[in-house]
Amino acid sequence: MVHGIYFRSRPKNKWQLVSVTASPEAAQQDVNDMITQAHKEGNEEAEAVSQIFDSAFWIPHYLDEVKVQKSMYN
């Protein structure tokens, strides 16, 4: 499985792909780092999420909405 990391700076913006990783731990770390960096830059509305895909050949660059998915690691 491949994890696509999506980010948006405002609630009405589209989600934009910013990173891809195969590790669920790395995906969660990327999400946390992006949110922390956005808050340091003064953007309190920024959001970041990880989406799981079966294939690296089909990962959309933009999404209108994302589904809440929990990381599958211990």
CA–CA gap between residue 1 and residue 6 (Å, rounded)? 16
The per-residue pLDDT for range 14-70, each reduced to its tens digit, is 999 999 999 999 999 999 999 999 999 999 999 999 999 998 888 999 999 888 766
Instruction: Mention every residue, 6+ apart, whose C-beta is less than 8 A from residue 66.
Output: 6, 15, 49, 51
pLDDT of 74 above 90: no
Looking at residue 68, its pLDDT comes to 72
Looking at residue 71, its pLDDT comes to 59
Pick from 57, 15, 46, 43: nearest CA to 5? 15
- AA letter at 6: Y
Looking at residue 70, its pLDDT comes to 66
